[in-house]
Structure 1
């Protein structure tokens, strides 16, 4: 049973957003009601992982939260000797992720690691997923993280990157934010919840323009980068080595 997200439903002194036990309890509801097309993104990332997985390789889900992308990838992998490595720095998320994964049988092994993805080694990878994770990494560390991922990918390997992004100018950004807030209202969030959540997250999530993402990926060395999904200020990209 999915527990409804009511974390910001009452007026409160708002502190910076963290992926703690309170968030873990309501995360499935929170993400579905906050991110347009989330189910489509997760299922398609799984399909792409199945398409690009290589024999005798690792697949990484960095910032795995409760393991939605890990599960989606595991359902589609048909290559031999593949291992999924799911990494998150939230103890509460990792503990619940392990429980979720234990509920589904699969021939594809999964290793769930409690670690900082900026310090975790990426090796022999055919697929790396960053599903709304990079936006929580400090700006000054993002290029290094993506470069490390590129170096750890096998030729023909892919990075699957989903992000909330900032509009290219103030007018566009305001339009995208308004559309997203309308989406949240339609999903039952009140004005108080929208306002308090925005306050909680503004210091920990730093979105960048989409053009910045595409330029950085090209600069790092990815040969092909395409946006395959976008709704309002949320998008998902594939970058091929």
Structure 2
């Protein structure tokens, strides 16, 4: 696994974060060192997905990046014959293809280029029992999120699940600052320098837009999900489980 040094040294300040080839090469290390309890969250996603999977249906990962979640689900849900991953970054899909080949799932998982911000019509979600949005919804423009969640709801079978992991805000500005400070301490413990933390924060400022926990609940419920629960939270990171009730 290549080490994330995207924002070290001579990396420029002020430009927006993009999922380019440089990022794709180190993305697995970036997530492991930047997302609290990343591997444990992946384990939870794997467990929830296996519980809700219905034979003969599909598993769809929206914002599949390097394919980690798809590979874990394919390993866990061995009966699944249709797994699809969408991402809007070709370098990410190229890296995912490499990882799928190494894991032996190149023929089992279908990778597709798709942009949930600007070309939602190209995203096909049909007969799915499990849909995942792992640290992806926060990059979708807020005004576009309702249409995406409604599309996911419509594409799920009755009893199907949407699993979301994202950064979140609290209702109190002081708590937000505390949580962000604790998060930066976490990144320091994982080897990121002050310069790297500052540069990445600036790069994400207009790209990553988190919702409050209650805003997330409202988003999922108004677009059809009858059951919405938090299955994980660490300060300003949370996981949501959204179930489409059976008719």
- 2:240 counterpart residue number: 237
Instruction: Tell me if the contact between 2:46 and 2:76 (Cα under 8 Å) persists in the aligned partners.
Output: yes
Which residue does 1:180 correspond to in 2? Answer: 183
Q: Which residue of 2 aligns with 1:213?
A: 216
Separation in structure 2 between the aligned mates of residue 47 and residue 108 of structure 1, nearest angstrom: 23
Deviation (angstroms), 1:77: 1.0
Counterpart residue number, 2:8 = 9
Equivalent position of 1:26 in the other structure? 26
Q: Counterpart of 1:137?
A: 140
Structure 1 alignment gaps of length 5 or more: none
Query: What is residue 60 of structure 2 aligned with on the other side?
Result: 60
Q: Which moved more, 1:222-231 or 1:133-142?
A: 222-231
> In 1, Cα distance between the equivalents of 2:106 and 2:64?
20
1:85–1:110 CA contact under 8 A, matched in 2: yes
Cα distance in 2 for partners of 1:105, 1:98 equals 10
Q: Is the 8 A contact 2:97 2:106 kept in 1?
A: no
Residue 45 of structure 1 pairs with residue 45 of structure 2:
yes
Q: Which runs of 5+ in 2 are unaligned?
A: none
Shift of 1:51: 1.2
Cα deviation digits, residues 93-116 of structure 1 (max 9, x gap):
001101111112359821000111
Contact 1:82/1:108 (<8 A) preserved: no
Post-superposition CA distance 1:178-202 (Å, at most 9, x none) = 1100100111111111111000011
For 1:117-171, what per-residue CA distance to the aligned partner results, in whole angstroms no more than 9, with x for missing partners? Answer: 3331211110000000000001100011000000100000000000101121211
**CA RMSD in angstroms, aligned pairs only:** 1.5
Tell me the distance in 1 between the aligned counterparts of 2:172 and 2:220.
21
Structure 1: which 4+ aligned runs deviate by more than 3 Å? none
Q: Which residue number in structure 1 is paired with residue 87 of structure 2?
A: 88
**Distance in 1, Cα, partners of 2:187 & 2:167:** 15
Cα distance change, pair 116–107 in 1 and its aligned pair in 2 (3 A): closer
Q: Please say if residues 67 and 86 of structure 1, whose CA atoms lie closer than 8 Å, have aligned partners that are also in contact.
A: yes
* Cα distance between partner residues in 1 of 2:108 and 2:60: 12
SS in 2 for 1:18: coil
Normalised to the residue count of structure 2, the TM-score between the two structures is 0.93
